[in-house]
Amino acid sequence: MPRFSSKRRVHHTASHMFDLVADVERYPEFVPLCQSLRIRQRTQKADGIEVIVADMTVSFKLVRESFTSRVTLDRPNLKIMVEYLKGPFSNLENRWTFEPKSETDCDVGFFLSYEFKSRMLAMLMGTMFDTAFQRFAHAFEKRADVIYGKPVTGTRS
């Protein structure tokens, strides 16, 4: 089963990065391969956790696939868990973590594992998915620079 994980230090706060990843409705604007995303259900729990059920359509050249997942937004612990519900995968698991490192920096952890139901679809989409997933973390970092401003580096004399 293909897996990808990364941990990147970004020059944005953990809460800003959490908010950016939690804003799933905006994914078609900047996430590689994401053609559309539709929220089916949104449930706010008393403990600060929100659960979203969403349909995402990914597209590359002539291949277009949709799948449904449950997204658990755990704001108190700065974690996001995506669980696969329906679509072309036999398994899909995605986790995000946001660990504050300073007042302005955090480590963003990204983990993904997936397996297609169809061997043919796996051959067709597999390499392209691997490449796209490797660009995910970078796409979110670039989006943070657009939304929150590019961090200023260096000091003035």
pTM: 0.85
**Secondary structure (3-state) at 48:** coil
Kindly list the structural domains of the chain, giving each domain's residue range(s) and its CATH number in brackets, ordered by start.
3-148 (3.30.530.20)
**Is 133 in contact with 139 (CB distance < 8 Å)?**
no
With contact defined as beta carbons under 8 Å apart, do 4 and 130 qualify?
A: yes
Other C-beta atoms closer than 10 Å to the C-beta of 153 total: 6
For residues 150, 20, 90, 66, the Cα torsion angle rounded to the nearest 10 degrees is: -100
Each residue's pLDDT expressed in tens, for the chain with a length of 157 residues: 778 888 989 999 999 999 999 999 999 999 888 899 999 999 999 898 999 999 999 887 777 889 999 999 999 999 999 999 998 888 889 999 999 999 999 999 989 888 888 787 777 666 666 666 667 778 888 999 999 988 765 444 3
d(CA 119, CA 129) in angstroms, rounded, equals 14
